[in-house]
């Protein structure tokens, strides 16, 4: 995972979207996380289309990984090492 993969020419995601992903780790309400994820994933999808990115780019997007990990925490699914890399990119992009 490399930050340059997510620095695209045609942006839909805002700095606030990246900040929200960074902050989701402290969320305590799964329904709120799910609603936010739905909204931001629509933006990831739009950004992928505008920049000719494939489904793997969308599915492995750092924001998607962060939200998916939080959802897995709510459901008790084990954490993945990929989360650390995704969070590092989200942190940089949120700055």
* Residue 89 CB-half CA count within 13 A: 18
Between CA 72 and CA 26 the distance in angstroms is 14
Q: How many residues does the chain have?
A: 95
pLDDT (tens digit per residue) in 37-83: 999 999 999 999 999 999 999 999 999 999 999 998 888 766 566 77
**27 CB-near residues (< 8 Å, 6+ apart):** 33, 70
Residue 13 pLDDT class (50, 70, 90 cuts): very high
* Run of H or E residues at 86: helix 82-94
Q: What's residue 82's pLDDT? A: 72
- Whether 35 and 70 have beta carbons less than 8 Å apart is answered as no
């Amino acid at each position: 995972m490399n930050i340059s993969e997510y620095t695209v020419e045609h942006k839909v995601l805002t700095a606030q979207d990246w900040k929200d992903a960074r902050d989701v780790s402290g969320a305590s309400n799964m329904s709120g996380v799910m609603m936010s994820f739905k909204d931001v994933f629509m933006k990831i999808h739009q950004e992928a289309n505008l920049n000719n990115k494939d489904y793997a780019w969308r599915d492995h997007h750092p924001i998607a990984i962060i939200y998916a990990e939080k959802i897995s925490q709510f459901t008790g699914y084990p954490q993945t090492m990929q989360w650390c890399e995704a969070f590092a990119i989200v942190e940089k992009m949120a700055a």
